[in-house]
Structure 1
Amino acid sequence: MSVQEPIQGTAVAVLREEGRWRCLPLPDACLLDLDRAVTELRNTRSTGAAFALLNVDDEFFILLRPTPGGMALLLSDAVASLYYDVAEDVVDALGVEPPEEDDEEIWPVGDLAILADLGLSDAELTVIAEEDVYPDEQLMMIAQRCGFGTELNAVLER
């Protein structure tokens, strides 16, 4: 694994309560440690939908969402697991084979239907994950499609 610090990016919790979206910044430590991201997200306590968006180093994104059986995860680029501990943690948690050292193709792994109940189908999320744009732009596409673009933008502009 390569040197991990400092990692740039953003970590945001997204909550839907009583029909309204709310976005809250999460600590930067969530970009380094999947367990920390899971803990911080669970500590947000929401009566409705709750999930987190992580833009790690402007290289890839991670979506995580509590489920009755644990945590649904999506990593936008499996190859990132060769270079970033947090991405390797996602691949390990998913129980999928890590990519080979010489893999260069970008492909998402995990639950592509993670936001289907919020209006973003697995097919749409696949297209977004495979877009050749920065992760912050991909996350904004997700936010706009699900209806919390304004709330996410307000947190990112702080």
Structure 2
Amino acid sequence: MAGQEAVAGFAVAVVREDGRWRCTALDASALSGLDAAITALTKIRSTGAIFGLLAVDEEFFVIVRPSPRGASLLLSDAAAALDYDIAADVLDMLRVDPPDEEDESIWPEGDLEILADLGLPGVELEVIVGEVDNYPDEQLQMIAQRCGFADQFAALLDDM
């Protein structure tokens, strides 16, 4: 990673264990590439659900949910893959071709049902992703609110 430019934004690990939510900051290197994010998340030990929320450069977000059979992923804006390594990594892992340079539209790529078992059905997540006038941190706050960890998420962001 020597010489790689730091990516602005934040990465948060979210854990639900024994009915309680916990949010912790991940190292900024988790924003540089998908492997770094997955590695950081798999180091967290929990018997409950674990996923990562990554807000990148006020442009897009990624939800990463590792599991023994591979990571589930959601990229809020597929076109971000043209400018950001981590977004390109997500499309690569999903085996999806990046959009054309001329394509101006914004659409998500990946698993919209990624948080369905935690109270956020895919149709609602799609609405949140579609709120393109909101910044990624605002969209992630909406996700946190809907799943039930808004207080823990907001407290962590205030401390960052």
Query: Is TM (by shorter chain) over 0.5?
Result: yes
Pairing 1:53-68 to 2, within 5 Å after superposition: 53-68=53-68
The residue number in structure 2 matching 1:32 is: 32
Show the counterpart of 1:151: 152
Unaligned residue ranges in structure 2 (runs of 5+): none
> Tell me, what secondary structure is at the counterpart of 1:67?
coil
Which residue identity does 1:118 align to in structure 2? L
Give 2:74's aligned residue.
Answer: 74
- Pairing of 1:1-158 with structure 2 (within 5 A): 5-131=5-131, 132-158=133-159
Q: What SS class does the counterpart of residue 70 from structure 1 fall into?
A: coil
RMSD over aligned CA atoms reads 1.2
SS in 2 for 1:22: strand
Alpha-carbon distance, 1:5 to partner: 2.4
Runs of at least 5 residues in structure 1 that lack an aligned partner in the other structure? none
SS at match of 1:92: helix
Give the TM-score normalised by the residue count of structure 2.
0.95
Q: Secondary structure of the residue that 1:36 maps to in structure 2?
A: helix
2:124 maps to amino acid = E
Q: Give the distance between the partners of 1:93 and 1:17, measured in 2 at CA.
A: 28
Q: What is the TM-score normalised by the length of structure 1?
A: 0.96
- Residue 130 of structure 1, CA deviation: 1.1
Provide the C-alpha distance between the structure 1 equivalents of 2:5 and 2:77, rounded to a whole number of angstroms: 20
C-alpha contact (below 8 Å) 2:16/2:48 kept by paired residues: yes
Deviation for aligned residue 1:33: 1.2
Shift in Å at residue 67 of structure 1? Answer: 2.5
User: What is the distance in 1 between the residues matched to 2:83 and 2:61?
Assistant: 14
The alpha-carbon deviation at position 68 of structure 1 amounts to 3.4
The DSSP-based 3-state class of the residue aligned with 1:5 is: coil
Q: Matches of 1:116 and 1:108 in 2, distance apart? A: 16
Q: Distance in 1 between matches of 2:34 and 2:8?
A: 15
Q: Is the 8 A contact 2:6 2:32 kept in 1?
A: no
Alignment length, in residue pairs?
156
Q: Residue 82 of structure 1: CA displacement?
A: 0.2
